[in-house]
Amino acid sequence: MSTTEYVAQLTEKHHQIEEEIHSEMLHPSADHVHITELKREKLRIKEKITELTTRPVAN
C-alpha cells in the first residue's frame, strides 16, 4: 500500500469518527467518556496524517 493510499484510508477513518462524534452528541444521554475517546482517536489519526504528508520523501 502506498503512502497516498494509507493517507486516504486514514482520512476516511477521520471523517467516520467525526460523524460518529456528531451523532453521539445529538443524543440527550450522550456518553461523554465515549465521545472523549473518539476525539482522542480522531486527533491521533490527524497527527498521523500530518506526519505522513509533511515528512520528506525518500529517494
Residue 39 included in any domain: yes
Q: Which domain holds residue 48?
A: 3-54
Residue 15 included in any domain: yes
Helices and strands: H and E segment counts in the chain: 2, 0
pLDDT tens by residue, 10-48: 999 999 999 999 999 998 898 999 999 999 999 999 999
Please state the separation of Cα 39 from the chain's center in Å: 8
The single-letter DSSP state of residue 55 is S
Residue 59 included in any domain: no
Is the whole-model pTM more than 0.85? no
Q: How many domains does the chain have?
A: 1
Residue 35 included in any domain: yes
Residue 28 included in any domain: yes
- The string of DSSP codes covering 25-45 is HHSTT--HHHHHHHHHHHHHH
Give the pLDDT mean for 6-11.
96
